[in-house]
Amino acid sequence: MNKHFLSTSIALLLCLGACAQGQNTVKNKTAVKFSASIDKTNAYKHLSVLASDEYEGRETGKKGAWMAADYIKNYFKSIGLKGPVQGDYFQPIDMVTYKLTQSVFTIDGNARENDKDFVIPAANVSLQGFTFNAKEVVFAGYGLDTEGYNDYAGIDVAGKVVMIFASGNPSMKEEAAPADRAARRKAMSAKREKLQYLANHKALAVIQIDPAVDTLNEEMKVMLAGSGQLSLKSEENTARMAKVKTFPTINISTSTANDILKAAGTTVEALQQQISSTGKPATQMINIAVSGSAQKEEVKVRAENVLGFLEGSDPVLKKEILVITGHYDHIGLTVSGTDKVNNGADDDGSGTTGVLLIADAFAKAKQAGKGPKRSILFMTVVGEEKGLLGSEWYSEHPVLPLENTITNLNIDMIGRVDKEHENKQDYVYIIGSDMLSSDLNAAGINANEQYLNMNLDMKYNNRTDPNQFYYRSDHYNFAKHGIPVIFYFNGVHEDYHQPGDEVSKINFDLLARRAQLVYYTAWDLANRKTRPIVDKNEDGTPKK
């Protein structure tokens, strides 16, 4: 072989390799051009409206959420996106709640006042309702059956109304409010176990002595009663609810409990002290008649996802869809404090704003004849705060085929900084990017390296994260169907789900940069030759 030819060939190969590597860091000038409108000024324009007091915290099923939906719909229409739901931008969701139409509790035939003397948790009322009558009550202390202490020793609770303390323990150590999500779940689990014990042993009903009923405000009434809880309406859910066996439960105030205990010549305080001082149960029969009944009905709730569609330019690739999401709902109003509006500027007004900014950039590109090859669905979903309901509905009733959906890029909280990054704020948490597709993960990283060079923090990018962030936003309803996802997130802060989550605390420069990252990633995904390969199963194992 000719030495000169060999040297020239090697040089050419080296050059080609270097050029190929260099292409990964060369910015696409067209993409950069149309990113210009993703800036802090436009971000403020949208978020100052969506997170204003006028929108009342955008709670699903309430006026503020409907106002937000209308704002987003009108904006999608104004920038030229199409309504993909039979020509409309709203995807109606069959969402319902259940409210109690009857709540009755009597002592010796005398009716007590609902939401003052007692509360009936709606979750413990079946669709058929309940009614019970008894001539006596079994007081069973803390309702515990543990090693060395058993409130039910020697007692058969079958067919009886049982009264217990809703919380607490025999040692009477003061119980602090659970400090975190895990502790709250544990406390709730312990309460459910006590009720389950009585249900399993065929008790007629349970009366819980609950100090929270002593000082009920409107917020506590809703929380204790559990009314207003939303769910998706479907034949499957209706059939499931009809089969659910509920256990009649009534929570009563301390004074109402004392009215019952008067028949036994004692009080709540006396019994607590007796159990605490002796370390032994004070279980006893109380000769007093009680009755209770409850009925509930289904109520339809107005809720809709808002969809804007941008058709791709390639005659073949336009059948494939990239979905970009953010949830526009938040948690609404509170009755306590001087500031009663949970504005949700960061959660998730910032993500919704990001979707609007990215939609505008792509719409401008299409109007200039530079639109993406694949189609893009911009979707702001409702009901995220109620259990990812809007995205669940879409995933079960897709407007565009899921098999043609190549990726979901989900934006949930991109306007603030958490404590871990106070000194180095140019970051964003990336979650889920490599859970199903190493190809998608590489695309997200490459887009960042090409255009922004932010810190992509992968701290929460795993299934074993105690916070379970991978499962807590709308991307998961795509991931569970095998669609690769990336979740963009700034982490929690002191104003998370508090009225302090205000527009004034948003870092708009940072919001815009994070939205640009999503945009550049979307630009690549919408224009590349092949869709991201799904090479992992839902449990993370490689696909065979």
Kindly report, residue by residue over 407-422, the tens digit of the pLDDT.
Answer: 999 999 999 999 999 9
Domain assignment present for residue 351? The answer is: yes
Q: What's the mean pLDDT in 310-322?
A: 98
Tokens of 236: 């499957």
465 is a domain residue: yes
Q: Are residues 101 and 66 in the same domain?
A: no
End residue of a domain, out of 300, 315, 334: 300
| Residue numbers of the domain that contains 160 | 96-300
Please give the Cα distance from 487 to 412 (Å, whole number).
7
Which of 300, 326, 341 finishes a domain?
A: 300
pLDDT at residue 370, rounded to an integer: 98
Q: Which of 10-14, 60-64, 271-275 has the lowest mean pLDDT?
A: 10-14
The answer on 124 and 72 residing in a single domain is no
Across the range 471-500, mean pLDDT stands at: 97
Average pLDDT for 94-109: 94
State the chain's mean pLDDT as an integer: 91
Please tell me whether residues 311 and 328 are part of one structural domain.
yes
Instruction: Report pLDDT digits (tens) over 506-540.
Output: 999 999 999 999 999 999 999 999 999 999 988 88
Q: How confident is the model at residue 226 (pLDDT cuts 50, 70, 90)?
A: low
- Predicted structure pTM score: 0.84
Say whether both 202 and 216 belong to one domain: yes
Residue 310 maps to a domain: yes
- pLDDT above 70: residue 20: no
Segment 266-277 mean pLDDT: 96
Q: How many domains does the chain have?
A: 2
Indicate if 333 and 482 belong to the same structural domain. Answer: yes
DSSP assignment of 353-374: HHHHHHHHHHHHHHHTT---SS
Residue 21 lies in a domain: no
Q: Among residues of the chain, what percentage have pLDDT more than 70?
A: 90
Reported as a pLDDT band with limits 50, 70 and 90, residue 14 is: very low
The whole-number pLDDT of residue 109 equals 96
**What would the pLDDT profile of 44-88 be if each residue is shown by its tens digit?**
999 999 999 999 999 999 999 999 999 999 999 999 999 999 999
Say whether both 359 and 240 belong to one domain: no
Residue 426, domain member (yes or no):
yes
pLDDT for the residue numbered 176: 52
CATH of residue 176's domain is 3.50.30
Q: pLDDT digit string (tens) for 25-43?
A: 578 999 999 999 999 999 9
Please report, for the domain that includes residue 367, its CATH number.
3.40.630.10
Whether residue 286 is found in the same domain as residue 307 = no
Question: Is the domain of 273 the same as that of 313?
Answer: no
H/E element holding 91?
A: strand 90-92
Question: Same domain, yes or no, for 183 and 158?
Answer: yes
> Average pLDDT for residues 486-513, to the nearest whole number?
98
Final residue in a domain of this structure, among 265, 300, 335: 300
Q: How confident is the model at residue 223 (pLDDT cuts 50, 70, 90)?
A: low
Element of type H or E holding 508: helix 508-527
The SS3 assignment for 23 reads helix
CB atoms under 10 Å from CB of 197, counted, come to: 20
Strand 95-107 relative to strand 290-301, pairing: antiparallel
Residue 314 lies in a domain: yes
Give the pLDDT score at 4. Answer: 40
> Is the same domain home to 406 and 276?
no
- Tell me what pLDDT residue 239 has: 73
Q: Do residue 54 and residue 132 come from a single domain?
A: no
Per-residue pLDDT at 186 exceeds 60: yes
> Among all chains, which residue has been given the structure tokens 């019952």?
260
Tell whether 1 is covered by a domain.
no
Q: Verify that 439 and 452 share a domain, yes or no.
A: yes
* For range 287-291, the mean pLDDT: 98
Residue 8 forms part of a structural domain: no
Residue 386: burial class (beta carbons within 10 Å; 0-12, 13-18, 19+):
buried
